[in-house]
Structure 1
């Protein structure tokens, strides 16, 4: 049997291989897939969101093999944000109230927040919340600016610690439904996350799954705290949001920075092309200022099924918004791959080694190693006795096919509620502003701890909560 040269290469080669595969992805932010749909004439339309006020001067659609595709691009008017629109943008502002010593910083943050509100179209629903050791929704998303102004004025710093990750997950759970790219969270904080039950990765993955951008406005008391704002920067980078900071001791954010957040996602365009485009490709938008915005899309045409049958099954790549990828990363990646090739060739040129008698190989066991068991956080039992397993630390229940637990009943909202693990290990159910509400043991709740044996009612669907092996 011929030796596989890569199994004989030093461990450094494997390390270089992994590094080479990683380098080209530097500067890439994962975003939800572009919304592409088939048209009556057999073509495709894809909706593209970009910063509002951006003048798109040129577009280019290219297949992965370099072939350019004929297409048209139409920038939609901002009237999509009209009060009677079916899909308005939703904005949620959250304030760090964890330290009374930050009272002056908080007041300036509140002033900046109101400046941001005034920059956003008046028909945009805006919600408010605070977080310290707990998250509190101060105001559900509303277009009433007087109500927002009064709510902002009443926010005070009176907490002790900052559960930043848990608070952001709580906000993601209560945001009203809207299309991907039309929901934004803005965090006013120093970024010092003191909670341990959740991580930055938990937040980023959840936000990307829901199509929500997390934006950060970082303000610290002293220069030594600046390192904490890296959390906000990474959160924004990994969810397609924006981050802006200020000098220590100051939270009066630049109006231009606030304007960029106010306009984020407000630009809407539609790119149209024929059904022949079935392979992965790249859409490039060029602005009047010379800036380029790149999107990867992989719409499906009528012959896609035949192509998929002829190819080895592959995981569908997530759509990616790529902007300003460092050229050095690509060059370094290519150099490393070249080095790996040289090492492989060197291994092939080694002098033949004298053959030695090999002992009979140890018989291989026919037993296939069992896969790691899926962690089950809880079990919901229906009235018919069916068991629905909660396999995520945060599970969404609803009528939507995207819900973690799909409840196919007209009385259940598309995103009705979530059941999640709290910081102390308990289970909590949260109503996501559903139409028919959530009842726990007959009492309507907006959020409540659930225990084994509790009866949960979502609309007309009754479930009994329990734990595995109960």
Structure 2
């Protein structure tokens, strides 16, 4: 709620007094308004007077259009907490008078004007909670009497402010009804003022003295009110409360004024702003001057002046120069260099094409060589997931293929390095090796891939083993290889499976 913030900083402002000597509590700020800056002000006058019109000036210029909403016409709420001093049994008659006064003021409570009641002596006691819609005030206040032995005046005032701070309202007031005698020493007048300003709470002061000689004590109550922007009323003995219209204007002390807003239009830079309030009784009040700064709009850049200088005719570029012209944006002067060094420019231009042609020739030749070397190889299935476990179990054929045989195959044999070595005869020019049962040479080891390697006989009739791009790879004599010719006795490792090649 915007007013709650504004009210909290009312007390930090310098008060500018009109000819009628009436104070104006206001707070102005700079805020966006319809895509431009505007001055927003909220205000309340010390005296509850009706407003005729409001003006906001910036650097001496009256801002228009101005929008003003009175607090009573807005959706915002106000809250009061009455604190009845019930200390000193000799003051019972005065305490009862305080109770009757609170009853008459509480009659003005409604959903927009929230009220609560508490009593205090050495501590604070809440009798009516803020905004209780079902409370019977007469019943709650029936038992109040002067039964306190000591007066914790400042301590209970601070507790009352803390209660008000939690109330959902935009303006808040603490109403202290007391003889002003303070007997607490841990807290002081400054503590109460500080807490009230921090919480945005106005203090109403109502002082009742038993006799004229005790009226000096009422200064405690009056100072709390005047230093927080609240009203003060008092009475001695059975005298009437003064000022006489205090009760009838009780709410208006807090709820007068409202909010005003006006756009700055074209005003920018250093700005001095002031709020002026004209009342229906003809009096006026002005706020203190507020200083703001609005960044001026950036000036448009001047259009560049284009000057055309007469230059000597430049000879037309040769073909190589036109080709190099496309490089001028990244290599300034490339086309001019090509004009002056045409042979070298052609060489630089064609050199990448020559290199590319050589590389392509080498690549295709190598591909043809490898194609001829593997044209007799049988195709094999793509490698599956490296983390998959075997999906088949050994078959009789598998057992027969990996069992120990007495003689070597046509192209040699593999012999596993186990406690009971197994021999696999190599009778074909292409032998697939892996964990899956469809391999020619099946290795039942989880570190072996489903399709791990291929053994084949090269066109030069040499035994070769090739890694099928596996994660765990193929190691020959401790060195990881992708493809290598095998020699008799070579140690081959596929994952953790180990075997030797013999021929």
Task: Structure 1: state its 5+ residue gaps.
Answer: 1-21, 307-470
Counterpart in the other structure of 2:263: 273
Deviation at 1:126, TM superposition (A): 0.9
Deviations 1:309-343 (A, max 9, x none): xxxxxxxxxxxxxxxxxxxxxxxxxxxxxxxxxxx
Deviations 1:401-424 (A, max 9, x none): xxxxxxxxxxxxxxxxxxxxxxxx
For residues 85 and 142 of structure 2, the distance between their equivalents in structure 1, rounded to whole angstroms, comes to 15
SS in 2 for 1:103: helix
Which residue, out of 197, 220, 223, partners 1:234? Answer: 223
For residues 300 and 239 of structure 1, the distance between their equivalents in structure 2, rounded to whole angstroms, comes to 26
The within-5 A match list for 1:317-328 is none
Task: Structure 2: state its 5+ residue gaps.
Answer: 1-13, 299-503
For residues 284 and 184 of structure 2, the distance between their equivalents in structure 1, rounded to whole angstroms, comes to 38
1:293 corresponds to 2:285? yes
SS in 2 for 1:160: coil
SS in 2 for 1:175: helix
Distance change >3 Å, CA 23–CA 258, structure 1 → 2: closer
More deviation, 117-126/97-106:
117-126
For residues 126 and 157 of structure 2, the distance between their equivalents in structure 1, rounded to whole angstroms, comes to 11
1:69 corresponds to 2:58? no
Q: CA RMSD for the aligned pairs? A: 3.5
The within-5 A match list for 1:94-243 is 94-121=83-110, 123-144=112-133, 146-177=135-166, 182-243=171-232
Counterpart in the other structure of 2:35: 41
Distance change >3 Å, CA 131–CA 234, structure 1 → 2: same
For residues 87 and 292 of structure 2, the distance between their equivalents in structure 1, rounded to whole angstroms, comes to 48
For residues 247 and 29 of structure 2, the distance between their equivalents in structure 1, rounded to whole angstroms, comes to 27
CA contact (8 A) 1:220 1:248 kept: yes
Deviation at 1:53, TM superposition (A): 7.0
Deviation at 1:228, TM superposition (A): 0.8
Deviation at 1:44, TM superposition (A): 2.2
Distance change >3 Å, CA 158–CA 250, structure 1 → 2: farther
Deviations 1:96-128 (A, max 9, x none): 011111111111111111111223455422111
For residues 16 and 107 of structure 2, the distance between their equivalents in structure 1, rounded to whole angstroms, comes to 40
For residues 112 and 122 of structure 1, the distance between their equivalents in structure 2, rounded to whole angstroms, comes to 21
For residues 58 and 257 of structure 1, the distance between their equivalents in structure 2, rounded to whole angstroms, comes to 25
CA contact (8 A) 1:133 1:161 kept: yes
Deviation at 1:89, TM superposition (A): 1.1
Higher-Rg structure is: 2
Deviation at 1:46, TM superposition (A): 2.1
Q: TM-score, normalised by structure 1?
A: 0.52
CA contact (8 A) 1:45 1:272 kept: yes
CA contact (8 A) 1:112 1:251 kept: no
SS in 2 for 1:43: strand
Deviation at 1:178, TM superposition (A): 6.0
CA contact (8 A) 1:181 1:265 kept: no
1:282 corresponds to 2:274? yes
Distance change >3 Å, CA 263–CA 126, structure 1 → 2: same
Deviations 1:207-247 (A, max 9, x none): 11211100101111011110011111111111011101113
Q: TM-score, normalised by structure 2?
A: 0.49
For residues 62 and 242 of structure 1, the distance between their equivalents in structure 2, rounded to whole angstroms, comes to 29
Distance change >3 Å, CA 37–CA 164, structure 1 → 2: farther
